Every structure is written in structure tokens, then in C-alpha cells.
């Protein structure tokens, strides 16, 4: 449905642009039936802009000046009849009043006229653009004398790759390098220097029927073609195609961000358990917040177990008292500064007091500080110091990631790929859509959800969400979905959209806790009546529901898909589509990157998935990279086909670069790691002679060093 909406928006914009262009050409009195038909039949924005180019209002060009000087007949004559002598023909166009002082000036003016005419041919532009997309390569070169400042773009100092195959993350990296004025970009052809005449020049000549038959004007026309390509079309094509490349790369990066966000939001919730949230710190101490089963803050404090205070025993005592007092079941530890030290504090506490029966989990604190300082947090906790709000958020996102993370700007959650290099409006729209999809897939408890969560339900907005919360605060918990009609400004249409996603767990009607829409309640009643049972008896009775023939309940109101969906929902009413809650176990004694050794097998959590691989949190403050080639024993095009953000995986350490703080990992545990005698570094030995990755005939990917793995490798021309 979202794809249909995006396509509809594009077509509406296309139609609107067509009308604007038609009106503009009509006002110039240059609209012909053929041109009008071509514009109306154009299927892309690029195509209509090509058609509009000759009629588009533009600044006064050299061609326009030449036309005003009366040189258009000269240009037309030489193009139509190459047997004419250019110099001799141009003599009659010398006009000192128009600053055409000699033959050269006249021929130059005619050349500018034809250059503009050639470069404004929609047919020619389309053909050249298609040819270059299929055959051109994007070349990147270092700007002179910027080697030191441009170190992070080392892989692109002398780089080129086919336009149609270059991956999105490399495009965005290269474009960032150009934006920061470290890289220069150009379009080239493979072995371009071997062509006597550039293929695009041949295309221009063919379109305008220009050939070299030894006639007097043939050489002059060939020069016009060369200038058209070099001066007019190369800059235009580079702009157009690099823009197209950017657009595709942005769309892919946004898609990656959106998919990762969905994985984070749909991560397994720990559920209604009393949770202690720890926001680690050194000098400022560890902020502690206790959250009850419903997510409400019950107590908060600060402990100082680390440098410089080092009140370790006192901190443990304070934590034990809080755990016993509130019956804490889970301890959520933020993964920022001092997280490993705090994790060790809790590990020691659990060993010392085994009867506490608590579990500790490292939780991503990305965006917690953003939430702490937000207007929403201030509204939720007006009397709570901002430094404790982060600990609250850390605890809550363990209980229910979806309910808590919807309060934070998704761009602050840290699962994007070049998120600052893409269209921020498109990114925002895509992420909002992802959040809506997740919220509606899970459903929302009408009686416990915050306004921030409710406003993400289909059909609701911030005003209606706030009105629902206000009604709930004034009148108590909702007992049935029908009460929504009593909420201010919530009408029939909104109810129709939202009701199926709003759950009432202990309401009057058992169907209100399911995803069955109220419109389908009569269908469920019909099924119950046919079996002489009540609705409460058939809900959850899988054996009975499996015995039903859905076709027996089809009528004018309910088709087969609706009946089938309703029966399936009755089997597990209000089921949560999220996975079962599991915890990753970081290896004891592995606290920093310095503790890592090649060959170690560790457990970790996938923190981010990109097109070139996945980053895994193994508990050392620095995520490691599993390159796409090291994710699976079989060939994969997209890492998300086999892994997702938030998944717990086992990895092997391949290489550790402490200086650059880079860790190379593999999920192919049977891969062997051997010592490279020449470099002193480690390298991977494949399980078999045949690599799982498909060979690329035009480029080979070096797999040996971390830099290449990390940057998705640099293709080398043969």
C-alpha cells in the first residue's frame, strides 16, 4: 500500500508538471500537436524535462545572442548543405553593427546556435543518458595536496566503478568526499583513450545526420559535434547521472535505515517485570531508576562505584537494598561510558548474592539523552532531574522497546547508514511510516499506552491521542471500543481506521482484545451461533477453529480473505508478533578492544545491518564488522536476508586494529585464522577452495585487510 501511495504521489506530481509545461509552451505560442502528444505520453519527470528544454526560459546564452545577430540562417544552411564552403558562406553575415566583425565570429555564432540545438534534443539526451548508465564508470580522484586531511576517504583516492553496479554506501561515501572538497568526480568509459571518436559524439552526429564525406562543411560540423559533447553535454550528463545515482543511493540507504528501525522496534520485549535501569557514568556516577511492571518510576538514586570516588562496596549495598525492596527481576545497563565497569559491578553483585535471582542485560542507550531533554520527557516527569530520565528510558526500552523508542527521534537511535547524507524529508517520512507499521502490527493497549504511542496508530494524530489519554484520566479505563466515540473529536471515520489496532485487555467484549475489527464482530457472532457456543468459548479453541470451513461464512458483507483472517485471529487473539525475549551473554574478562585476540569466539548482538555487512556489539565499547562475505557459507546479495538488527549471534574475531579501533569478525565459525608472516597481522583461511561469493568479471574484491572489509572493498580493474 505504501508503494502504491508513493507511485500515486509521483504520478500526480508528473501530471501537475506536464500541465505547467504545456501552459508555458502554449503561452510562447510554440505548442504543436506532436509536442503536446509527446509531453502527455511521457512516463517520467526526466523525459518531460528533456522535451521542455528548448522552450524553458533561460538566461541569455551565446546561441541566443547569435540568433539576435542574424546568424541562424547561416547555421541552418551549413547543417542542411555541407557542400557549402563555411568561410565563403559566412562572409555575407559579417555585420559590425552586431559585433560580427569577421568570418570567424560569424562561424562561431553559428556553432553556438547548433550546439544549443543539438544539446536540447530530447531523443538525443535520452539515448546518451541510457548509453552512459549502461557503460560509464564513476571515477574519483584525490584533490591535490589534501592527502592528510582526506585520510578517511583513502579508498576513493584513485577509484572507479561501473555506474550501474556501484553500491549505495560507496556512492554516498564518494559524494560526501566531494562535498567536503577532498574528491573530484567524473564519468569515464572503460579504456576511453582507445576510442578515435567518443561514442556519444557518434550518437550526436547520427541523430543530426552529420557524416564525414569530404565535403567543405563536414569538418566544421564535426567540430560543432565535438564541442557539443565536450562543452554542453558532458557537464549536463555528469550532473544528471550523478544525481540519479545519488537518488538511488539515498533510497537504498533510507530503506536500510527503515528496515533496521523496524527490527529495533519489533525487538523482543522483556514484558511486565520490575526493572532497574542503570545509566553508567564515571565522575558523575551511575544513575539508577526503578520501574515497576507497568513502566512507572518508583524510585531513583545515584551511586559512585567507579573512578574517582570508587565507593564500590557502598554502591553494591545500595543496589541490593533497592532490588530487595522492589522485587527487581531485570537490570538494564546502558552501553555507553563506564558500561563495562558497571556490568562488572552487577556481575560481582550477582555472584556475591545469588539468591537475588536477577538477570542483567546490556541495552543500547542510543537516543536516551535526546529523550531526557525532550519536551515529552519533561511532560512525563516534570519534577524529575533530567539526568535520571535516561535511566528510566533504558529500563523501559527493555520492558517494551516499541512503546519507549517511539518517543525518540528515530534518527537518534543509531541504526542508519549515511543518514546525514540523504534527503531528510524523505528519511523522516520513511521512518515515520516504519514506526506506524510496527505500532499497528503489534497493536496498542488502549488503557496503558502513552500519547506518544497512541498517536502512531492508523487514523490517530497527536491531538486525538492526547484526547484519549485525557478521557482515560477523567473517566477511568475503557471497558469497550465503543467508548471511543465519547472521545472529543474522534468520529466515525477515525474509529473505522483505528479501532482494530486498539486493544482492551480486560474489557466487556473478549473481541476487544483481538485484532478483529468491530465491523467483523457480527461475523464472529455468526460463527459462534452456528456452533451453539458463545464467543468466549470459541476464542482460543484451535481445534474447533481449524475444523471450520471459511467458505460457509462468506456473504455479501464478508469475503473469503476477511473470514480467513478473522478465524486465524481467534486462534491466538491479540498475539504479539514479536519474538521471545532472549539475552546475549558477553564473555567475562573481555571488556575492551585490547582484550580481543584473533580466533576468539564470542556472543554478541547485531547493532546495525548495512548493505556491505553487519556491525555486532560484543561488549567492548566498539562494534565489530562482519563483512557480507563472512555472514553465511552461501552466497547472499543482502545481509538482511539472513540476519536482522537485535539478533543474538556467535562470531569469531578475525582481526583487531586497536589504533583505528576496528574489529573484523566472521559468523562463519569454522573459518580458520592464521598468522601472516609478512605483515604480522592475521588473515582468514577459507573453509574450502571455492569462495561462496559469486565472481565479478569486471572487478575483483580484495578480502585480506580490515580497511577493505570495512569499506565494502575496492574493486580493481584488470
- Average pLDDT of 312-318? 95
Q: Which residues contact 92 (CB under 8 A, 6 or more apart)?
A: none
- Average pLDDT of 23-50? 95
451: which 3 cell numbers? Answer: 500519547
Q: Which residues contact 55 (CB under 8 A, 6 or more apart)?
A: 21, 24, 25, 28, 30
> pLDDT at position 53, please?
94
- Average pLDDT of 570-592? 80
- Average pLDDT of 567-572? 91
Which residues are paired to 332 by β-bridges? Answer: 277, 361
- Asked whether 172 and 156 are in contact (CB, 8 A), the reply is no
Q: Which residues contact 259 (CB under 8 A, 6 or more apart)?
A: 434, 609, 640, 644
Three-state DSSP state, 44 = coil
The model scores a pTM over 0.85: no
Distance of CA 635 to the CA centre of its chain: 23
pLDDT tens column, 601-648: 999 888 888 888 999 988 787 889 999 999 998 999 888 888 888 888
The pairing of strands 502-503 and 601-610 is unpaired
323: which 3 cell numbers? Answer: 532490588
Q: How far apart are CA 86 and CA 522, in angstroms?
A: 87
Of all residues in the chain, the percent with pLDDT exceeding 90 is 70
Residue 712 pLDDT > 70: no
Q: How far apart are CA 499 and CA 503, in angstroms?
A: 8
Which residues are paired to 95 by β-bridges? Answer: 100
> pLDDT at position 318, please?
96
**Nearest-10 Cα torsion for 594, 595, 596, 597:** 100
- Average pLDDT of 393-400? 95
> pLDDT at position 103, please?
95
* pLDDT band at 575; cut points 50, 70, 90: confident
pLDDT tens column, 433-445: 999 999 999 999 9
Backbone angles phi, psi at 228, to 5 degrees: -60, -45
Residue 163 pLDDT > 90: yes
* pLDDT band at 89; cut points 50, 70, 90: very high
Residue 677 pLDDT > 90: no
Q: How far apart are CA 43 and CA 14, in angstroms?
A: 8
- Asked whether 429 and 422 are in contact (CB, 8 A), the reply is no
> pLDDT at position 611, please?
83
The highest-confidence range among 75-89, 414-428, 640-654, by mean pLDDT, is 75-89
CA-wise closest residue to 616 among 578, 586, 636, 660? 586
Cα distances (angstroms) measured from residue 555 to each of 137, 464, 562:
59, 35, 11
pLDDT tens column, 344-384: 899 899 989 988 889 988 888 988 999 999 999 999 999 99
Q: Which residues contact 148 (CB under 8 A, 6 or more apart)?
A: none
> pLDDT at position 688, please?
37
Backbone angles phi, psi at 196, to 5 degrees: -70, -40
- Asked whether 119 and 228 are in contact (CB, 8 A), the reply is yes
> pLDDT at position 536, please?
87
Amino acid at each position: 500500500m505504501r508503494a502504491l501511495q508513493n507511485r500515486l504521489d509521483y504520478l500526480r506530481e508528473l501530471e501537475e508538471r506536464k500541465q505547467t509545461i504545456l501552459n508555458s509552451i502554449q503561452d510562447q505560442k510554440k505548442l504543436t500537436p506532436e509536442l503536446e502528444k509527446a509531453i502527455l505520453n511521457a512516463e517520467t519527470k526526466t523525459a518531460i524535462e528533456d522535451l521542455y528544454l528548448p522552450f524553458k526560459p533561460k538566461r541569455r546564452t551565446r546561441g541566443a545572442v547569435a540568433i539576435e545577430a542574424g546568424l541562424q540562417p547561416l547555421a541552418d544552411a551549413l547543417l542542411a548543405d555541407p557542400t557549402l564552403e563555411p568561410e565563403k558562406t559566412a562572409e555575407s553575415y559579417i555585420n559590425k553593427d552586431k559585433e560580427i566583425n569577421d568570418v570567424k565570429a560569424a562561424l562561431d555564432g553559428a556553432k553556438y546556435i547548433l550546439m544549443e540545438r543539438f544539446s536540447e534534443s530530447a531523443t538525443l539526451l535520452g539515448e546518451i543518458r541510457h548509453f552512459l548508465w549502461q557503460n560509464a564508470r564513476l571515477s574519483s580522484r584525490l584533490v591535490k595536496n589534501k592527502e592528510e586531511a582526506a585520510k578517511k576517504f583513502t579508498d576513493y583516492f584513485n577509484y572507479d566503478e561501473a555506474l550501474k553496479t556501484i553500491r549505495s554506501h560507496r556512492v554516498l561515501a564518494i559524494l560526501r568526499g566531494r562535498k567536503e572538497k577532498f574528491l573530484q568526480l567524473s564519468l569515464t568509459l572503460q579504456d576511453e583513450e582507445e576510442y578515435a571518436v567518443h561514442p556519444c559524439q557518434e550518437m550526436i552526429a547520427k541523430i543530426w545526420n552529420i557524416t564525414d564525406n569530404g565535403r567543405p562543411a563536414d569538418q566544421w560540423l564535426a567540430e560543432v559535434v565535438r564541442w557539443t559533447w565536450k562543452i554542453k553535454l558532458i557537464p549536463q550528463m555528469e550532473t544528471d547521472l550523478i544525481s540519479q545515482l545519488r537518488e538511488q543511493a539515498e533510497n537504498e540507504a533510507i530503506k536500510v535505515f527503515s528496515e533496521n528501525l523496524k527490527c529495533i522496534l519489533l525487538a523482543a520485549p522483556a514484558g511486565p517485570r520490575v526493572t532497574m535501569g542503570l545509566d553508567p557514568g564515571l565522575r558523575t556516577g551511575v544513575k539508577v531508576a526503578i520501574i515497576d511492571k507497568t513502566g512507572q518510576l518508583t524510585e531513583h538514586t545515584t551511586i559512585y562505584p567507579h573512578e574517582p570516588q570508587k565507593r564500590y562496596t557502598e554502591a553494591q549495598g545500595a543496589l541490593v537494598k533497592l532490588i530487595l525492596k522492589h522485587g527487581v527481576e531485570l537490570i538494564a545497563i546502558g552501553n555507553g561510558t563506564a558500561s563495562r565497569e558497571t556490568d562488572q559491578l552487577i556481575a560481582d553483585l550477582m555472584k556475591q548474592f545469588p539468591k537475588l535471582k536477577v538477570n542483567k542485560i546490556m541495552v543500547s542507550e542510543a537516543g536516551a539523552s535526546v529523550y531526557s531533554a525532550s519536551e515529552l520527557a519533561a511532560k512525563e516527569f516534570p519534577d524529575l532531574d533530567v539526568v535520571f530520565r535516561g535511566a528510566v528510558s533504558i529500563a523501559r526500552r527493555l520492558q517494551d522497546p516499541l512503546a519507549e523508542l517511539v518517543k525518540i527521534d528515530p534518527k537518534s537511535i543509531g541504526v542508519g547508514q549515511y543518514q546525514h547524507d540523504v534527503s531528510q524529508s524523505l528519511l523522516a517520512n520513511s521512518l515515520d511510516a516504519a514506526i506506524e507499521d510496527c505500532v499497528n502490527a503489534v497493536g496498542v493497549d488502549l488503557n496503558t499506552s502513552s500519547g506518544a504511542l497512541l498517536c502512531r496508530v492508523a487514523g490517530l494524530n497527536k491531538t486525538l491521542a492526547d484526547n484519549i489519554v485525557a478521557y482515560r484520566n477523567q473517566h477511568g479505563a475503557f471497558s469497550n471500543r465503543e467508548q471511543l466515540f465519547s472521545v472529543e473529536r474522534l468520529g466515525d471515520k477515525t474509529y473505522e481506521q483505528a479501532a482494530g489496532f486498539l486493544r482492551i485487555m480486560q474489557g466487556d467484549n473478549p473481541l476487544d482484545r483481538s485484532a478483529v475489527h468491530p465491523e467483523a464482530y457480527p461475523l464472529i457472532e455468526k460463527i459462534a451461533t452456528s456452533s451453539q457456543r458463545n464467543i468466549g468459548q470459541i476464542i482460543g479453541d484451535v481445534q474447533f477453529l481449524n475444523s471450520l470451513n471459511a467458505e460457509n461464512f462468506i456473504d455479501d458483507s464478508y469475503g473469503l480473505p476477511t473470514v480467513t483472517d478473522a478465524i486465524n485471529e481467534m486462534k491466538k487473539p491479540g498475539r504479539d508478533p514479536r519474538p521471545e525475549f532472549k539475552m546475549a551473554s558477553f564473555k567475562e574478562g573481555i571488556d575492551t578492544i585490547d582484550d580481543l585476540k584473533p580466533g576468539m569466539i564470542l556472543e554478541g548482538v547485531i547493532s546495525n545491518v548495512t548493505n556491505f555487512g553487519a556491525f555486532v556489539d560484543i561488549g567492548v565499547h566498539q562494534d565489530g564488522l562482519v563483512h557480507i562475505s563472512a555472514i553465511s557459507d552461501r552466497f547472499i546479495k543482502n545481509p538482511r536476508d539472513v540476519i536482522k538488527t537485535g539478533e543474538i549471534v556467535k562470531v569469531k574475531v578475525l582481526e583487531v586494529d586497536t589504533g583505528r579501533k576496528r574489529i573484523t569478525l566472521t559468523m562463519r565459525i569454522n573459518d580458520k585464522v592464521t598468522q601472516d608472516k609478512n605483515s604480522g597481522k592475521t588473515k582468514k583461511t577459507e573453509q574450502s577452495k571455492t569462495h561462496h561469493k559469486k565472481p565479478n568479471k569486471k572487478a575483483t574484491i580484495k578480502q585480506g585487510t580490515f580497511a577493505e572489509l570495512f569499506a565494502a572493498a575496492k574493486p580493481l580493474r584488470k
